[in-house]
Amino acid sequence: MRMKKIVALLAIVALFIGGCNMMNKKETLTKEQQDNVVKWISRGYDVNVVEFLQLSKNNSTGIYLLSIRLNEDTTLETTIPTDSLSEFNNMYGTVGLNPRGKFQYLERSEWFLKDSDVNISKIVVHYLEN
């Protein structure tokens, strides 16, 4: 009987610790998801460097905000909002950067189609740390 109580207590402690770890799990993006964002940007803008600054979630709205900086210029910082991190799984797409006036001089005269292949090998990418 005493052994059953000890086993039950250990099981409760293990479940509690596991639950705490799940609640504290920090969400982030994979390298592949971040590369997809770089492809979206490069279809519409001429960029040399993309730096991922932060991924945050607004708990009241449920919206994720991905903060980025372009070309190592602090005046070229913006956020990309999304309802779900799974949206970043898609390599095909485009994104408009706001405020538009800030990024307009980087904008391509003609955007690549959202399903076109783009080569990002010459773009320096600073990834989020996991």
Give a yes or no: residue 25 inside a domain. no
Decide if 85 contacts 64 (C-beta within 8 A).
yes
Strand order in the sheet with 49-57: 77-82, 64-70, 49-57, 124-126
pLDDT tens digits, residue range 11-30? 554 555 555 444 446 789 99
Classify residue 90: in a domain, yes or no: yes
What string of DSSP letters covers 43-61? Answer: HHB--SEEEEEEEEE-TTT
Q: Is residue 15 part of a domain?
A: no
Residue 14 included in any domain: no
Number of independent structural domains in the chain: 1
Residue 121, domain member (yes or no): yes
Cβ count within 10 A of residue 87: 15
By residue range, what is the domain housing residue 83?
A: 31-126
Helical residues (DSSP H) of the chain, grouped into ranges: 2-23, 31-44, 100-103
pTM of the model as a whole? 0.79
Report the candidate in 111, 104, 101, 118 with the shortest Cα–Cα distance to residue 37.
118
pLDDT, one tens digit per residue, over 57-111 is 999 999 999 999 999 999 999 999 999 999 999 999 999 999 999 999 999 999 9
In whole angstroms, give the CA distance from residue 52 to residue 77.
10
Confirm whether 20 is domain-assigned.
no
At residue 5 the predicted structure's pLDDT band, cuts being 50, 70 and 90, is low
The reply to whether 12 falls in a domain is no
**95 is a domain residue:** yes
**Strands 49-57 and 124-126, bridge-based pairing:** parallel
